[in-house]
A and B are shown apart, each in its own frame.
Chain A
């Protein structure tokens, strides 16, 4: 079955740029969605269809893809960005939704 690989944790200082990766075979041909999940809350879409940002999500959040990796970039990180971030795709071959294992972003 299809697998998405994320680093368990990423740490950055306030004001710096955080990059959270999501690796998967042929990910360039899939749409990648990113979710932000704060403790005790349901996930919220941060980026959908690779690059689009829902209303209410700051412009500091952006998505990109290159090769076998998709990346969520958070510029000028703030304390309020501390959360778990999950990537997700639809794998047409197996007809299933797949989530990455999630990455805990810590703001130092």
Chain B
């Protein structure tokens, strides 16, 4: 069973960088699949942020591409999110998830972490 767990600061100051790590167990991130980040502002819907596949191919939301970076760390079997120049609008629950892929298309998010609430405030 694949399990994911997000970790990182719960409070980030405006204009600073939000960094989160997702630790994966039960599956080697270098063996396959893609690894994504999704967020959910309080009381709102899901917003995809970006996905990186085990091949190194990455996909980012156009609205966040200039501020967003996702990386894989095979030594720690984890992947990370970095979002620069944050504002209050970036306050949300951040989820990491596995994403299936087939024929060059991204698929469903089969396994999710429990989510990490990140608040942007001074």
Contact = CB atoms under 8 A, between A and B. Distances in A.
Interface of B: 36, 38, 44-48, 51, 59-62, 95, 99-100, 105-110, 112-115
B46 A99 contact: yes
Contacts of A43: 46, 95, 109, 112
Interface string A11-27: 00000000000000000
A99 B49 CA distance: 11
Nearest to A43: B112
Interface of A: 1, 31, 33, 35, 41-45, 48-49, 54, 86, 88, 90, 92, 94-102
26 contacts: A33-B108, A35-B109, A42-B95, A42-B115, A43-B46, A43-B95, A44-B112, A45-B110, A48-B107, A48-B108, A49-B107, A88-B46, A88-B48, A88-B108, A90-B106, A90-B107, A96-B60, A97-B36, A97-B61, A97-B99, A99-B38, A100-B45, A101-B45, A102-B44, A102-B45, A102-B46
